[in-house]
Amino acid sequence: MKISGAGLAIGLGFMALAGLVAFDAASLQVPPSYARVGPQVFPYLIASGMALVGLRLVWEAVREPIRVHVQPVTDWKAVAMISVALAAQYFILKPLGFVFSALILFLTIAHAFGSRQYVRDLVVGLVLALSAYVGFRYGLGIGLPQGILKGLL
Amino acid sequence: MDALFSLMDGFATALTPINLMWSLIGVTLGTLVGILPGIGPALTIALLLPVTSKLDPTGSFIMFAGLYYGAMYGSSTTSILLNTPGESGSIMTAIEGNLMARQGRGAAALSTAAIGSFVAGTLGTLLLTFLAPIFVKLALLFGPAEYFALMVLAFTTVSSLLGSSVTRGFASLMLGLALGLVGTDVLTGQPRLYFGQMSLLRGIDIVVVAVGLFAVGEALFMASQPHLRNAEILPVRGSLFMTRSEWSRSWKPWLRGTFLGFPFGALPAGGTEIPTFLSYTLEKRLSKNPEEFGKGAIEGVAGPEAANNAAVAGVLVPLLALGLPTSATAAILLAAFEQYNIQPGPLLFSGSSTLVWGLIASLYIGNVMLLVLNLPLVGLWVRLLTVPQPLLYGGIVLFSLLGVYSLNNSVFDLALLMLVGGMGFLMRRHDFPVAPCIIGLILGPMAEAQFRRALSISQGDPSVFLTHPLSASILAVAVAVMVVPVLVRRRQGARR
């Protein structure tokens, strides 16, 4: 019998999450006047629901291999590239400013999707990022981080 | 006939130049995102929320509703010419419609889809006009226990009817409910699941979750699947003017699709997917030439396309009259109401009648605009299909970054976006539906509020949900929705 590893992991993950929600609910300090229907009741309900779903997912994973919605080939490199570029936004958006930060994101995604027309991508990305920046700043009055363009735009 | 007078007032609101402009922007944007694969109405409205927060609510909702309708029109074009559904409501259209396009009957398929959408959209809006006030009267009978039961019903229907299995639907719902717990409890001020992060105290914004699941998750998934990237675009061939036989084969499926789609949207039964599947099966069974199905039968385009537009009109009934979202887009619209501090439900019709009736009237106008946009101008829209995928997804994620950051000007939200995006990727990869998560997130805190209100009225006695006849019967239906599909599946399995 073949056991689906991914299915098992997802099921166990749900049980772990259920534990987390229940643990958090248990640590709430409930004022006595709310003792019966306080802020902890709903989390407990959700935690039990999650645990049940987790059990069921584990059972399905053991009984029948998970129906993965994908073809055998997975381009993990593309996934990693996009993830890194997005996670990097947390650190670079403010120092670099919106225009360049977003441009880097755009170019990485275009590359991950297999584009090798760098000039076209650069032009399109720059137009999108700049028009979004200008539109937000001057059209809507919503300031985006200026970063290295400070004083220029 | 109160509804008629209110509707007339609504037209007075909707026909002002500024609101006509919002409607036009809405339907145009809707057609655009409907046609572009990878971006849909829920994501677009979520991305627009930070921008519209300073606009007039009536204009914004006229735009949003036009966008929702428009996406249903536009997505049929993608299904027919690209064989990739533009939205989930057009999956069935892709089957027969694409085959018709391959045989050089693409124009006829586009026509029957657009005219069918118009017929269904208009009839659906008519039903909405007269049913919404009745729902409102019904809603006045509801107390907290009934509202809670109704929300439980919405939870079980979207979870068990969407996606590939009941377990996965519920898994997605539970994730949404858990995310909804994060933040400060309104009644006691207790922080829940905030892990010492001050930014989490105000809760997780639905925009972050919707954008993470729909844009980032989808982009990661598409990037991971190189074979999904290239699809063949078929040219529009044939005449947009349908022949007499095409008309006569289309009009009945349009009407049947409408009457299937509307109730499925209106009862909390999970949006546009199911009625389109049912409509396809029904047309196949009723057709005089069932052998044509699988080879490009026009009925298989006409029925489902009518059904998805009617379902959208149906979805608006519980959303406006009860504040109950039954699709992912409706959940985002509910978030939009919250943003303006407007409470959908019975009070909306008395307190903000200009908004509601202006919105409903604008739907009639929007439908006419959409027919014009999608039939004579279809050639222009088709060019959008040639946008290369690297640029399309690059653009979608760029606007996601913009939308999520400008919510609170916080990079913390970007970190959350990445986390939710990773979750969305896993869900997409392992076939978990996304809509239940979005609905759980927005409806969870409301369900909790009603739950606690009901229990504090009953002084902690949980039997209140079962002793009120109305709430007991709604809960019974909710359980049935959960159990019946499992039993049916088991019986079918036993027969095999």
Which ipTM did the prediction report? Answer: 0.92
Residue B490 pLDDT greater than 80, yes or no:
no
Question: Chain B contact for A87, CB < 8 A?
Answer: yes
Q: Could you tell me which chain B residue has the CA closest to the CA of A59?
A: B167
For residue B177, the distance in angstroms to the closest alpha carbon of chain A comes to: 7
Quote the strand ranges of B229-385, DSSP E.
none
Residue A66 pLDDT greater than 70, yes or no:
no
* Angle of helix A76-96 versus helix B217-224 axis, rounded to 10: 140
B6/B128 Cα distance (integer angstroms): 13
Q: Could you tell me which chain B residue has the CA closest to the CA of A5?
A: B430
For residue B314, the distance in angstroms to the closest alpha carbon of chain A comes to: 29
Q: For residue B184, what are the β-bridge partners?
A: B191
**Domains: count for chain B:** 1
* CB-nearest partner of A56 from B167, B398, B425: B167
Helix/strand/coil for B304: helix
* A54 within 8 A of A15, measured Cβ to Cβ: yes
Instruction: Please enumerate in sequence order all residues whose Cβ is within 8 A of that of A77, keeping only pairs 6 or more positions apart, or say none.
Output: A112
A40/B192 Cα distance (integer angstroms): 9
Segments forming the whole domain that contains residue B378: 2-495
Cβ distance B388 to A105 less than 8 Å, yes or no, reads no
Q: For residue B183, what are the β-bridge partners?
A: B192
Residue A40 pLDDT greater than 80, yes or no:
yes
- Average pLDDT score over chain A: 87
Provide mean pLDDT across the span B29-58: 90
* CB-nearest partner of A140 from B51, B170, B193: B51
Q: Which residues of B touch A69 (CB under 8 A)?
A: 428-431
What confidence tens digit (pLDDT) does each residue in B446-461 have? Answer: 999 999 999 888 888 8
Question: Chain B contact for A131, CB < 8 A?
Answer: no
**What one-character DSSP code corresponds to residue B234?**
P
Longest dimension (CA), chain B: 69
Token representation of residue B381: 């829209």
pLDDT at A36: 67
What confidence tens digit (pLDDT) does each residue in B228-287 have? Answer: 776 778 888 888 888 899 999 999 999 999 999 999 888 776 667 788 888 998 998 988
Longest dimension (CA), chain A: 66
HSE on the CB side for B280, CA within 13 Å? 23
* B33 within 8 A of B321, measured Cβ to Cβ: no
Please report, for chain A, how many H helices and E strands are present, in that order: 5, 0
Cβ distance B178 to A121 less than 8 Å, yes or no, reads no
Candidates B323, B293, B329; CA nearest to B308 is B329
Rg, C-alpha atoms of chain B:
22
B118/B110 Cα distance (integer angstroms): 12
- With the CA atoms of B43, B268, B250 and B39 taken in that order, what torsion angle do they form, in degrees rounded to the nearest 10? 10
- β-strand pairing of B183-184 with B191-192: antiparallel
Cβ distance A10 to B426 less than 8 Å, yes or no, reads yes
Instruction: Please enumerate in sequence order all residues whose Cβ is within 8 A of that of B94, keeping only pairs 6 or more positions apart, or say none.
Output: B79, B80, B83, B84, B85
Instruction: Please enumerate in sequence order all residues whose Cβ is within 8 A of that of B340, keeping only pairs 6 or more positions apart, or say none.
Output: B53, B57, B60
pLDDT at A1: 41
Q: Could you tell me which chain A residue has the CA closest to the CA of B399?
A: A132
For residue B458, the distance in angstroms to the closest alpha carbon of chain A comes to: 11
Instruction: Please enumerate in sequence order all residues whose Cβ is within 8 A of that of B98, keeping only pairs 6 or more positions apart, or say none.
Output: B79, B80, B81, B82, B83, B234
**What one-character DSSP code corresponds to residue B296?**
-
Record the pTM. 0.91
How far is residue A99 from each of residues A79, A148, B220, B417, measured CA to CA in Å? 23, 9, 22, 19
pLDDT at A77: 94
Quote the strand ranges of B291-399, DSSP E.
none
How far is residue B376 from each of residues B80, B236, B241, B369, measured CA to CA in Å? 16, 12, 10, 11
For residue B483, the distance in angstroms to the closest alpha carbon of chain A comes to: 15
* CB-nearest partner of A38 from B50, B188, B417: B188
Burial of A18 (0-12, 13-18, 19+ CB in 10 A): buried
pLDDT-wise least confident of A127-131, B159-163, B281-285, B462-466:
B159-163
Q: Which residues of B touch A76 (CB under 8 A)?
A: 224
Cβ distance A86 to B171 less than 8 Å, yes or no, reads no
Amino acid at A35: A
Cβ distance B181 to A42 less than 8 Å, yes or no, reads yes
pLDDT at B116: 95
For residue A153, the distance in angstroms to the closest alpha carbon of chain B comes to: 17
pLDDT at A83: 96
Cβ distance A102 to B174 less than 8 Å, yes or no, reads no
pLDDT-wise least confident of A95-99, B54-58, B211-215:
B54-58
Q: Which residues of B touch A21 (CB under 8 A)?
A: 178, 181, 193
- CB count within 10 Å of CB B58 equals 23
Token representation of residue A123: 């032009």
Q: Could you tell me which chain B residue has the CA closest to the CA of A74?
A: B224
Cβ distance A68 to B178 less than 8 Å, yes or no, reads no
Helix/strand/coil for B494: helix
How far is residue B272 from each of residues B90, B307, B328, measured CA to CA in Å? 9, 7, 10
Cβ distance A46 to B164 less than 8 Å, yes or no, reads no
Candidates B491, B483, B475; CA nearest to B160 is B483
B128/B258 Cα distance (integer angstroms): 12
Candidates B360, B466, B401, B439; CA nearest to B50 is B401
Token representation of residue B267: 């009862």
Q: Which single residue is written with the structure tokens 């239906």?
A: B477
Could you tell me the sign of the dihedral formed by the alpha carbons of B52, A96, B421, B198, in that order? negative
Residue B496 pLDDT greater than 60, yes or no:
no
- Average pLDDT score over chain B: 90
Residue B428 pLDDT greater than 60, yes or no:
yes
Mutate to test the interface with A, among B173, B187, B188 (most CBs of A within 10 A): B188
Residue B482 pLDDT greater than 50, yes or no:
yes
For residue B201, the distance in angstroms to the closest alpha carbon of chain A comes to: 14
